[in-house]
Chain A
């Protein structure tokens, strides 16, 4: 199946710094990617929909200035957590759909664990 890769898989940063997480579709083109956040022992909560070449669409309650999303190419979307604080510590997961195949399936990255000290 299609492969989605996230980098880094885990990152530790100091409070106040910014962290960038990359999501790449390795063998297909993804016009749309999705960013989720998952707290321990909880479900995945959709943060935003990332569209190639246009602005991301954020879910209600998600601060767009806090979580910057850029989808500059058909294979790469980035999530930047700006001025990170300990409450931003979480597991972030991206997913993507193969734009050429309409099976309804979304492919997920391995996730990125962010810890803010």
Chain B
């Protein structure tokens, strides 16, 4: 069975600094997608970044980038130049072709001014 593990229940970062959120997953599949979602207090799930497993290049979206290590089944999220608005719950998620998203337990990110 596929599982997603986020080992950091809470993280904090100073404004303008960089923080990395960890995620590992377990799967026997070779073709899949990985995602990071942000859930602010409004509870609306917002896609932060997406990575296709067949792509070796790490995905980047502005201040957000990932370190995808397929052999190690690791998918960490780096947030550069952190902003107060980045404070939220962050969920790592895994998806196979069935479209089912399996979420990790989440990491609460606090950003201090």
Report B's interface with A, CB cutoff 8 A.
33, 35, 42-45, 47, 50, 52, 91, 95, 98-106
Contacts and interface: CB of A to CB of B under 8 A. Distances in A.
A104 B33 contact: yes
Contacts, number: 48
B100 A46 contact: yes
Interface residues of A, number: 20
User: Main secondary structure on chain A at its contact with chain B?
Assistant: strand
Contacts of B42: 110
28 contacts: A32-B99, A34-B99, A34-B101, A38-B43, A42-B105, A42-B106, A43-B91, A43-B103, A43-B104, A44-B45, A46-B100, A46-B101, A49-B98, A49-B99, A49-B100, A104-B33, A104-B35, A104-B50, A104-B52, A105-B47, A105-B50, A106-B95, A106-B99, A108-B44, A108-B45, A110-B44, A111-B43, A111-B44
Contacts of A42: 105-106
Interface of A: 32, 34, 38, 42-46, 49, 91, 93, 95, 97, 103-106, 108, 110-111
A67 B82 CA distance: 41
Nearest to B6: A43
B78 to A, nearest CB: 21
Given A46-B101, A95-B101, A106-B99, 4 more contacts: A34-B101, A43-B105, A49-B100, A105-B47
